[in-house]
Each structure stands twice: as structure tokens, then as C-alpha cells.
Amino acid sequence: MKIHEYQGKELFDRMGVPTAKGKVCRSVEEVLSAYEELGLKKAVVKAQVLTGGRGKAGGIKIGENREEVAAAAKAILGMEIKGLLVDRVMVAEAVEIASEYYFSFAVDRNSKSVVMILSREGGVEIEEVAAKTPEKIEKIPIFPFVGIPDFLAKKAAAILFDDWKLVMQGKVMIQNLYKLMVETDASLVEVNPLVVTKDGRLIALDAKLNFDDNALFRQPEIESLFEPDEEEKREQEAKANGFSFVHLGGEIGCMVNGAGLAMATMDLIKLYGGKPANFLDIGGSSNPRKVIEAMKLLLSDKDVKVVLINIFGGITRCDDVARGLITAFNEIKTDIPIVIRLTGTNEKEGRKLLEGTPFHSAETMGDAIKKAVALV
Amino acid sequence: MKIHEYQGKELFDRMGVPTAKGKVCRSVEEVLSAYEELGLKKAVVKAQVLTGGRGKAGGIKIGENREEVAAAAKAILGMEIKGLLVDRVMVAEAVEIASEYYFSFAVDRNSKSVVMILSREGGVEIEEVAAKTPEKIEKIPIFPFVGIPDFLAKKAAAILFDDWKLVMQGKVMIQNLYKLMVETDASLVEVNPLVVTKDGRLIALDAKLNFDDNALFRQPEIESLFEPDEEEKREQEAKANGFSFVHLGGEIGCMVNGAGLAMATMDLIKLYGGKPANFLDIGGSSNPRKVIEAMKLLLSDKDVKVVLINIFGGITRCDDVARGLITAFNEIKTDIPIVIRLTGTNEKEGRKLLEGTPFHSAETMGDAIKKAVALV
Amino acid sequence: MVQGITGRDGGFHASKMRDYGTRIVGGTSPGKGGTTHDGFNVYNTVVETVKETGADTTIIFVPAPFVKDAIMEAADGGIKLIIVITEGVPTLDFIAARHYATALGARIIGPNCPGLISPGKSLVGIMPGNIFTPGRTGVISRSGTLTYEVVYNLTLAGIGQSTAVGIGGDPVSGLYFIDLLQMFQGDPETDSIVMIGEIGGDAEERAAAYIKEHVTKPVFSFIAGQSAPADKRMGHAGAIISSGTGTAKEKIAALEAAGVTVLNEPADIPAKIKAVV
Amino acid sequence: MVQGITGRDGGFHASKMRDYGTRIVGGTSPGKGGTTHDGFNVYNTVVETVKETGADTTIIFVPAPFVKDAIMEAADGGIKLIIVITEGVPTLDFIAARHYATALGARIIGPNCPGLISPGKSLVGIMPGNIFTPGRTGVISRSGTLTYEVVYNLTLAGIGQSTAVGIGGDPVSGLYFIDLLQMFQGDPETDSIVMIGEIGGDAEERAAAYIKEHVTKPVFSFIAGQSAPADKRMGHAGAIISSGTGTAKEKIAALEAAGVTVLNEPADIPAKIKAVV
């Protein structure tokens, strides 16, 4: 789960991590009153959208005075960045930057731990730095029970700064950011750029936070920050039904049990020249209720011209699955052609049950997909 | 550092560890008003002294009613237990005990960790259980950074209780007691007996806490609980001067640099038939100021008839030590005979400087002690 | 042993495993110690179970919020192999529990995995045992039903499996591709290896580097998620292309460069194995 | 290297150790990195010192409240032997730091100890080097000046020392009697061992049991605190008889039962060694 920069900034503020003073606004008027209220002179107006590359897209502008700031806000509000509408901006003090750094905590799959990532190359995308000059990035794994003792925070800060006063400021910031990471079950806490101002202050100029979806059950406050877009709302609804759903925009609606098999199904549709409408993992079992809910979800997508059901019957046998499907489709009446492929335990018995129904039955995955593509 | 049971009980209460309701009192009148205030019926009156074996000494009595409680308080207040005057008692609910257990957290020298010690043999001295039936005691070392996860608290509680409801009560208690241990830098947190009442409640019927003297600098609240007796006051004053001092009651005052050497000096005095007045380690250096303060301390003990100074000159050479001693004794005038033994670097030069002074100089420790014993 | 044996999934799969021939000595369910469940002895704690039964492997079915404690309890109790079936375990919980278990010498498979099976011998997991058949091909997979699909095809084609391991779909897991490639390479009962990967992370790339250096047995692979969009979690918490990395394309290229036969369709795997082994 | 090299004690003893011939490559003093102190290079952090100098041993002089962090920093920095001179370290701090350092493969001597010396070779501690002389007797002691007393007597009697180690007077310490008995038993340069114990704990009793089983070299001992009262801390935080255990009497009995020659006076040790070796 991702949140906006201004929400991250609020979490930083609360945790005592220094940020530039600023405020989120939804209109030019709000921007101007925030500009007055905060007593700003040179100010920056930043689009609040959940994607990177805002700067390149023109979503970050600086204004030297009230008029320029108003113009910047007017230009940014309402623009689209990577398909996302900018409906709010943050107006903030434009600090005088002496130097820029990169700092983050991230979950690292390989070391199977949280790692602290630091670089003196700040303000640019870290992936670029990693690709071009990997020697300029330091990674420090964190022992989960130990956390960040003073020495470790100082050692890390000393990677970024030569001046000991900055090291000591950095130490406190690092410990507070780690605390934030752990207390909110974040999977990423990124400050890019972390800057030193011309008057020697350390400031987190950006605040990017991702959270672990698996931990939201114990993070109600974090969960409440989530602002799903239309697609994400559908994904959430699906999740409430025990599904994993991602809209893809094609014409063949898929219903599969298991994430890996669902991905493979999408892949093969593409391989055979079709366009998958979605990723849909209906999970372990495949009782009629679930199938009905899943069909409703698929049919709510008006682009869907064919539905492909690919179920591996393991512990739940194929004949039981077939009976469930028949029950479900007795309830849902639809004209959309449905291809069903059942495989695994008792697959022959399952297929036999589907004989004489309006469903298109298939033996192999390839076979089923070919049929589905042909039916579009 | 030790504290009274009632102070321990207050710490338990604050940490959510269940105790019997009770109150500390300094007079029979206070006991009676506490008895009313707490709405007690059957009550226990317990002497508050910093030693074990109160029960055996008659320092714990039960009263069935107001009159019996008053009589118990009257009997206990003013009594002496192991030389300690009882100036206060705790009056508390006499709970109906179904079963008794032993529980503690202690610093264990051998495993170099905090250990949890548990036994179903409660209410008796754990040393006795350990000596007679060691198989009835379980010890669980605690990983310092991990602390006590739920499973460990349950596993431990299940050693004491068969009933799962009690295990769950015990789990919470164990986690809270460990929190208390760590937050207060305790070296011992002992509950003996831990009881299960006839109505199924788990209650800490005693609360014994020792604290790490080395950590008192960061535990001002705990330090403020300390009530030194006369001897401990003198030890504290000595400590303020950088000394380690223990009164022993003999006639030969000792001033030694280093704890081990100071103990060895006491031991040899006894071996040679004398009685050491004290243990006194004046620490690493031996500048005149320190010697003067140490002599004042020794001479404040009216039993002291001879002073024995045993200094090992290592990095500080013996000739410098001798000069310091001469300077010090020019300031302190005393008629008490003083035996000085200097050994180590430049010891001959040191002894030479002491020639012609009123001091009795000696070459070896044995020699010095013989002289001191003879001078008593 | 089974942690969470009186739960719906734990109880169901304990029976299934027993039916397959696995020696299930009992399980835990705090507060239900001393009872029996479907013929299994139930204990309150792992340490008690180990003491009574000598269990050395556990399979965990407890709900996600309790998995951290369950893993730590297993490791503390002396269990050496911990298989975590539960889905939705918070990442920081798993990181901590794994660190603790590793320090105590225990190995973990999962979480969010189907477990492992040595066909004809034993099943410690939730896989449908009947689709497997004994043989000499090792299977490693980040996925559940996709594994079954592959294995089912193998079985139908007469290619048996030495052992199949589902390593789980979470971003941070216990034993992973490299650990298992190493085991299969050293296993005299395995002749060839099927490795089923998916988008997200760079474990397949790392595995490719390892294969190049250390694996002499033929490796066949399928990578799911070639058509997945960026920044979307495809079911598995670990299956996400982020910042342009973790794509199927990169993985396939790395594996092919390491001499691995990467197939476009799971159904094509058996024929390729037959051609080589 | 020296942690706390710009402090009063750290600076003083760094010079003394250098004078004795120990190779001191520099030390730390946070915020003073890049300067020099009495000819020593000063660094901000241990990791920087190790990187620049290749140090593998550290001696810690930082104030007690910072010792926990200093030990952990040393172990994290790759230091393998950590000698802690500082007195008054909170016990729970030391327990945590030791756990961390041990997990990283580092060994600790101290805290509250005088360090160690191999006469004529090197001194990593605060011992007065001039009273030692090279030879074949190993010395292990919980005490400082009492060790000097014993060693001085040995030196005067012509009995040199292979190595002398002060293990410290705190209740919880790093390397202890058994660890060092084992090292001396295996050290071809050591013929006999002097072990100086004191009241408190049961380390001497454990050492006695170890000696009985594993030590064939003659061991001589002196136990301080025979006349100490119960429940009073005799200077050292660890020197306390509590609940009637940790008495000198018990320790002496155990050692004698293990074949150790226990002397009543430190001055008697040299003659006894001469009689045996």
C-alpha cells in the first residue's frame, strides 16, 4: 500500500524527522492561503500523485513569490502524470540546498532482512545510481531484534556526511525513521532527496512510504490513509471476497485457482494471440458461492467477451468442482461464452459432468485458451 | 541495592502484576485504619525488613479480626530480625491459598544471561529446594534482544500450571515482570510464594527486588527508594569519595588499593590472629587527598587501634606514593600507630623515604600484618 | 507435528498427510492439550509435543498474526525443519522469526507455500498427493496450483518426481531456489530439476548465476507473469514488478544464459525432459 | 586499537602500552576523527579504524554508560578480541552486548578488568608492565592489584609468566576461568597455572570441576575474601556472598578436591611452584 508524499511527511513530522514546512492543498486558493499562513517566500509546489518521476513530468515547480506560486499551482492542479489526475498539491518552503543524499529502509528479499540503503548521490532515481555506479550505494542489513543501536546509526550517517555535527543529526533521523518503519509495518521508507541546507540543517525533502499489505490488519491508522483509485477499489472489493484481482484491459476474462496458474493462464492467452481482461485468483477452494461472486466481477467488465475458467482440482476433486460450476451457472444466466478447463484429480469425471451443458469444455490449458481466443 | 517488600509490591502494582491488597504502616494505629480502609477481614501483618527468614523469626502473623491484627502489629513493630529493627509492617489481605509456587528472574553468572527460575515448590527457600531436589527447579535463559515472546511465557507458565487458564494468567504476569526487570535494571525479581487462590486467581504474595548498583545512574526513581542503615550510609559516603568500604568491627583499620588486595589483607590479618576493622579499597591512584579522606574514614571508627596501609605501586611508583603519604600525614595528626607496606615499582626508594618518619614500615604483606597485630 | 492441528485447515491436512503415509505424531492447540483430534494427540506447546513424541519437523497452519510466535516456538522447541503454510504473514514478523529460527539451527520453508512432498514416501504440505508419482525429477516452485499443473503433466507423461518443494509466494521466505538447487544437485535420487519461477525480485537471476557455477544436472524452467503489468501485485505478495525490475523477461534471459531450458508452456516441459534425460 | 583514546585513562594507557611494545594502530573518539592524539591516529568509528589499520583487537576505556554500544560497535566492525577496562558497566548492558558480540564471533575479556599481558611481548591492559617477566607460568585472576602482588612475588622469585589475564570483578564477564584454563592447558609455552579467585558466584567451583577433568598442568590458587561477611559487596560488584553461597571456604574445598594447591598467603605461591615445576 502506498501513500501520498504529504501523508508521509505528516508521519515524519510526528516521528521527529525534520521536513520542510509545507501543507497539502486542493485548489489555487488553498495554496495561496497556505503560502501566507506558513510565511513562505520562495516556495515549491509539488503534485501529490502515487507515482515517481513527478519532476520530469512537470509536477514540481518553484515560485519566487506569491504570483509565481499561484501560477505553479494552477499549472499543476488538474494535470495528468502517468495517467493519474493531480487533484492536490503540496506547497512547501523551498529550502536552500547545499547537498543531496539518498536514504531508505527497504525489505530486502535476498538478505531476508530490512536493509538501510545510503548514497551520496541523492535526488536522482536510486535504480539509475545502482545500475551505473553501484559502488556509490551502501547497504546495511539490520538485525531484527537488535534494531539500530547508536553506533550503527552513527556508522551509517558517517557514510553520508563528513561533518560530525551532521553525523549526529543523521543518527537521530535514522533511528527515528527505523522506528517509523517498524511501528507502521512499512516495507519501504525512502527519503530522496535527503538534503543538507546551506544553513547546515538536515531535512527530508521527500517522504515515500510503502506498507506491507499483510500487516494492515494491525495498522488501522495506516490503512485509513489508503485512497484507492477506481481500479484499486475493484481490487479491494475482490479481496473482500477472498479473491486476488487485477484489471488488465483485454477481452478474455479469466477465473483461475492459484496465483501462479492465473499468471500462466494470462501469459498463454497472450502467447496464443488473445488479450486477458484480468488476473483473477479465486483461491484454494471453488465452491458455487465463490464462482458466482467471481463471475459477477468478471461480467462487470463490459469489455469481456469470453470467460475462461481454469481450475486445478487437487484436494477438491474435478467432479465436485464441475458440480459447483453447474450450480453456480444455474443461478447466473449469461450469454457470454464460457470455456471451462478442469484438470487434476477425477478430471475425466468432471469433464463428463460438463457434457451437454452450454459450456465449452477443454482438456489442456493450451486447448482451452485456443478455444477462448477463437470465441472472442 | 535492595528495597522493601511493600516498595516492590508498589512496582508490581504499577506494572499490572496482581498482588494482594495491602498497605505499609508505621504504627498500630496506622495498621488499624488501613485494615478498615482496605475493608479487610482475615489479614496478614508482615515485618518490612531487608532480610529473608521473616516468617521463621516471627515477623509474619495472621489476624482473623481487628483485635488479632492489632495484636500482631504490636508484636511485630519494634522487634529485631537478624539485627534489623522492624519500624514498619505491611498489613494485607490474607488470601485463601490453594497452591504455592516459586518464580524469579535473576542474573545468572554462568549462562551470562538473565534466567527465569520456576518451581512448583513455592513458599520455601529456593536454595533449600535447589540443594535437596534440584530436579524440581527449571531455569530458562532469556535472549537479551528477544526478551519473552508469547510462546516462551506460555511455555514457562505451563511448567507451573496444568490449567490453561492459569497458564494464560501466568503468561501475562511473566511478561510484565520481565518488563519490570529490564526497565528498572533489576538483578533479581523474585515472587515467593506466587500463589493460586482458592477462587482461581494468580497472586504475587511477596515481592523481592534487587537492583544493579552499576545502573543506578540511570534509575533515579529506583535509587530514591534506597533507605540505607547507618553502616550503609558510611559505605555511601565512602563511595562518594571513590572508595569501596565495608565495616567489619575489628581493631586494625586497613587502607588498600584494589579490592582483591584489600580482601587478601583482611584475610591475612585474621590468619595472623588480628581483627580487621574494615574493608577499604581506595582505588587505583593514591594521591594525598584520597589518603586524607580515607584516614578520616578509618579514624571515625573508635575501635580502630592500628592502621595498616598496604599499597601496590604499579604504574604509580612507590616513591611517589610514599611522598603522598608523608604529605597526607603532615596534615592529619594522629597518635594511632600506622604500619605502611609499599610494594611494586621503586619500592626500595619508597621505603627509604619513609625511614625516619613515625611510620612503621614493612617489606612484605606478612611482615606488615605481623607488625600491625603486635601493635594492637 | 502440526501447529494448529485443531483448526479447519490444520486438521484437514493432518489427516490427508497421514493418509499419504507421513508419520504425524500429533500437534499443538494451546488450551486443548491432553485431548485428541481426529485421532491425533493434541498438546498445548511445541516443547511438550517434542518431549512426548520426538518430532523434528513441524507444519504450521496457525492464523497469520500468530505465525511469528509459532515459528519461534518451533525453533525453541528443537524443531529443525519448519514448514509454514499460512498466507498473509506480515513481512517484518517473518524476518524476525526467521532470524531467531536460523540462530537456533532450524530451516524454514514458506510462508504462503504448499509444502513439500517426496512422492510415495511422505507429504508435509497441502499438495494433492495423488497427482504425484515417484521418480527422478526434482521440482522447485514459488507457486501452488501452477506446480500441480506442471507435476500433473509430468506424471501423465510418465516422469516421476524425487521431491517437489513449494517455496512460497511471499517476498521474504525461508529456503529458496539456490538452497534447493544445491540440495537437488547433491541428491543421488534426482537426475533433472524443474524450476517454476514468477515475476518479482531477482531470485531467478541469482539462481541462474548459481546454476551456471554449481549445477550440472539439466534444469527446466517456466516463469509465470510474462504478461503482468508493472506495480501490481499478482496474487502472491512477492509477485510484483517494481521500479521496472523483477520482470519475466529478465529472468528468462538470465536462466537461458545459464543453460536452463525455459519453456513457454507448462505442458511442454515433459517432452523436453524426455529429450534430454 | 583503543576505544576512547582521547580520554584521560585511554590516552594514558595507550602510551604505556605502546611503550611496552604493543602495536597500537590508533583509536576512536567520535567527532575527533582525522586528528592525532599523543601520536596516535584518531578515528570517528571502529569500522573506519579497522578499514584504515586492520586492527583485530580493541581495548575499551569509554565511560560505563557507553560500553554496551562500544562493545557492539567493535564486534560489528570485525574486531575479534575485545578487552573492556571500564568499571561500573550495568549488568544488563553487558549481557546484551556480549550476546551480540558472541553471535558475531568476537570474544570479550572484562569488563572491570586490568586486561592481559604476555610479558616481553605485548600488553593490552593497564597492568604495570615492569613488574612482569617472561616465563612459563600462566596467571588468571578476578582481581587487579592482588594479581600484581602475586606476579611481583613470582618475578622476584625468578618465576616468569607466559601470559597473565585479569578476567574482571563483575558478576557477569566475558572469558572466564574455564576458558582460560583451557587455553593455558593447550599452550605449549605454559607449564603451570596460578588462579586467583575470590568470593561470589561459583566460577571457582566450576573451574575446579574442569581442572579435575581436563587440566594436567599443576594449578596453584589463592582465594580472597575468606574473612568477608555475607551480603556485602567487597569492592568488586561480583564479590558478594549471597544466600550463603559463594564463600571462600566452598571454593577452596572444591579446588583442593580437584588437586589444586590452594595457598593461604599470596607470598607462599612462588615456593610451591618451585617445589613442583
The distance of Cα D90 from the centroid of its chain, to the nearest Å, equals 18
What is the tens place of the pLDDT at every residue in C100-146? Answer: 999 999 999 999 999 999 999 999 999 999 999 999 999 999 998 99
Q: Do D44 and A167 touch (CB under 8 A)?
A: yes
- 3-state secondary structure at position B58: coil
C34/C43 Cα distance (integer angstroms): 6
Q: Residue D72: its chain A contacts at CB < 8 A?
A: 149, 151-152
Q: How far is CA B319 from CA B295, B327, B331, D12, D131, in A?
A: 20, 12, 19, 20, 15
Nearest partner of C72 among B152, B172, A214, judged by Cα? B152
Of the partner residues D45, D70, D100, the one whose CB lies closest to the CB of residue A146: D100
Distance (Å, rounded) from C-alpha C142 to C-alpha A259?
10
Catalytic residue among B5, B93, B121, B190: B190
pLDDT of residue A39: 94
Query: What whole-number distance in Å separates Cα of residue C197 and Cα of residue A259?
Result: 12
Mean pLDDT, residues A275-301 taken together: 85
A100 is catalytic: no
Across the interface, of D95, D225, D232, the residue whose CB is closest to B114 is: D95
Q: What is the pLDDT of residue B60?
A: 94
With CA atoms as reference, the chain B residue closest to A147 would be B145
How much of chain C exceeds pLDDT 70, in percent? Answer: 100
Cβ distance D100 to A151 less than 8 Å, yes or no, reads no
Containing B306, the helix (H) or strand (E) segment is: strand B306-313
What pLDDT score was predicted for residue B285?
61
How many beta-carbon pairs under 8 angstroms link A with D?
A: 33
Report the pLDDT value the prediction gives residue A342, as an integer from 0 to 100. 92
Question: Residue B125: what pLDDT?
Answer: 82
Flag whether pLDDT at C77 surpasses 70: yes
Distance of CA A230 to the CA centre of its chain: 14
Q: Which pairs from D240-244 meet CB under 8 Å and 24+ separation?
A: D240/D199, D240/D200, D241/D199, D241/D200, D242/D200, D243/B52, D243/B125, D243/B127, D244/B127
How far is the alpha carbon of D73 from chain A, nearest alpha carbon, in Å? 6
Q: What is the pLDDT of residues C39-74, one digit of tens each?
A: 999 999 999 999 999 999 999 999 999 999 999 999
- Band of residue A286 on the pLDDT scale cut at 50, 70, 90: low
pLDDT at D217 over 70: yes
pLDDT band of residue A224 (cuts 50, 70, 90) is very high
pLDDT of A285 > 70? The answer is: no
Nearest-angstrom CA–CA distance, C263 and C221: 6
Between CA A246 and CA A250, with CA A247 as vertex, the angle to 5 degrees is 135
The question of ipTM being above 0.90 is answered as yes
- Picking from B116, B151, B164 by the largest number of C CB atoms within 10 A of its own CB, the best residue to mutate is B151
Sort A331 into a burial class: Cβ within 10 Å, 0-12 / 13-18 / 19+: exposed
What single DSSP character describes residue A301?
A: S
Give dist(CA B148, CA A192) in Å, integer.
37
For C143-160, what is the mean pLDDT? 94
User: Alpha-carbon distance D98 to D111, whole Å?
Assistant: 10
Question: Chain B: residue nearest D177 by CA?
Answer: B110
Residue in A5, A93, A121, A190 annotated catalytic:
A190
Q: Which of A142, A145, A152, A182 to mutate to test the interface with B (most CBs of B within 10 A)?
A: A145
Distance between CA atoms of A191 and A203, rounded to whole angstroms?
9
R_g (Cα) of chain D, nearest Å: 18
Q: Higher model confidence: residue A126 or residue C103?
A: C103
Q: What is the 3-state secondary structure (H, E, C) of D27-56?
A: EECCCCCCCEECCEEEECCHHHHHHHHCCC
Q: Counting runs of H as helices and runs of E as strands, what totals does chain B give?
A: 13, 18
Residue type, A98: A
Residue A218 is predicted with a pLDDT of 97
Alpha helices in chain C (DSSP H): 8-20, 46-53, 67-76, 91-103, 145-156, 177-186, 203-214, 248-257, 269-276
Answer whether D33 sits within 8 Å of A150, measured CB to CB: no
Confidence of residue D225 (pLDDT cuts 50, 70, 90): very high
- Of A367-371, B238-242, C189-193, the range with the lowest mean pLDDT is B238-242
- CB atoms < 10 A from the CB of C22, how many? 20
For residue C101, what is the nearest residue in chain B, using CA coordinates? B146
Interface A–C counts its CB contacts (< 8 A) at 176
Given pLDDT bands bounded at 50, 70 and 90, which one contains residue C210?
very high
Per-residue tens of pLDDT for chain B, all 376 residues: 899 999 999 999 999 999 999 999 999 999 999 999 999 999 999 999 988 788 889 999 999 999 999 999 999 999 999 888 999 999 999 999 999 999 999 999 999 999 999 999 998 888 888 889 999 999 999 999 999 999 999 999 999 999 999 999 999 999 999 999 999 999 999 999 999 999 999 999 999 999 999 999 999 999 999 988 888 888 888 888 889 999 999 999 999 999 999 999 999 999 999 999 999 998 866 677 888 888 889 988 999 999 999 999 877 788 888 888 888 888 888 889 999 999 988 888 889 999 888 899 999 999 999 999 999 8
- Interface touch C73/B158, C-beta < 8 Å: no
Q: Please report, for residues A291, A330, A345, B153, C221, the alpha-carbon distance to residue C267 in angstroms, rounded to integers and kept in the order given.
A: 26, 32, 17, 51, 12
* Closest residue in B to C33 (Cα–Cα): B164
A149 near B CB under 8 A = no
Contact B92, B22 (CB under 8 A): yes
Q: State the Cα–Cα distance between residues B351 and A249, nearest whole angstrom.
A: 100
**DSSP run (H or E) holding B11:** helix B5-15
CB pairs under 8 A between B and D: 177
Distance of CA D81 to the CA centre of its chain: 12
Q: CA nearest B248: which of B287, B213, B274?
A: B274
Neighbours of B125 (CB within 10 A): 16
Chain A residue closest in CA terms to D32: A164
What's the CA gap between D183 and D196, in Å, rounded? 16
Q: Are strands B360-362 and B338-344 parallel, antiparallel or unpaired?
A: parallel
pLDDT digits (tens, 9 = 90+) for A170-186: 999 999 999 999 999 99
How far apart CA C65 and CA C52 sit, in angstroms, is 27
CB contact burial C228-244 (16+ within 10 A = b; e otherwise): beeebbbbbbbbbbbee
Chains contacting A with at least 3 CB pairs below 8 Å? B, C, D
B362, β-bridge pairs = B341
Q: Model confidence over B69-119: pLDDT tens digits?
A: 999 999 999 999 988 899 999 999 999 999 999 999 999 999 999 999 999
Q: With contacts defined as CB-CB under 8 Å, which chain D residues touch A149?
A: 68-69, 72-73
Mean pLDDT of chain D: 95
pLDDT of residue B194: 97
CB contact under 8 A, B145 and D148: no
Shortest CB distance from A154 goes to which of D45, D68, D100? D45
Q: How confident is the model at residue C99 (pLDDT cuts 50, 70, 90)?
A: very high
pTM of structure: 0.93
> Which among A151, A164, A167 has the least Cβ separation from residue D72?
A151
Q: Encode pLDDT of B346-370 as tens digits.
A: 888 889 999 888 899 999 999 999 9
Q: Give the torsion sign (CA, B36, B39, B41, B47).
A: negative
Look at residue A316 in the predicted model and tell me its pLDDT.
77
Catalytic residue list contains D236: yes
Q: Cα separation of A221 and B346, whole Å?
A: 72
Give pLDDT, residue A71.
95
| Interchain contact, B149 vs C45, CB within 8 Å | no
User: How much is the mean pLDDT over chain A?
Assistant: 92
**C243 has a pLDDT exceeding 80:** no
For residue C218 the three cell numbers come to 539439466
CA proximity to A258, closest of A239, A235, A285, A232:
A285
- Identify the residue whose cell numbers are 548498583: B213
Provide DSSP, D110-133: -SS--EEEETTTEEEESS-GGG--
What was the pLDDT predicted at D128? 92
C45 neighbourhood in chain B, CB within 8 Å: 151, 154-155, 158
Indicate which residue of A6, A102, A235, A347 is catalytic.
A102
A164, HSE (Cβ side, Cα atoms, 13 Å): 10
Residues of C in contact with B146 (CB under 8 A): 100
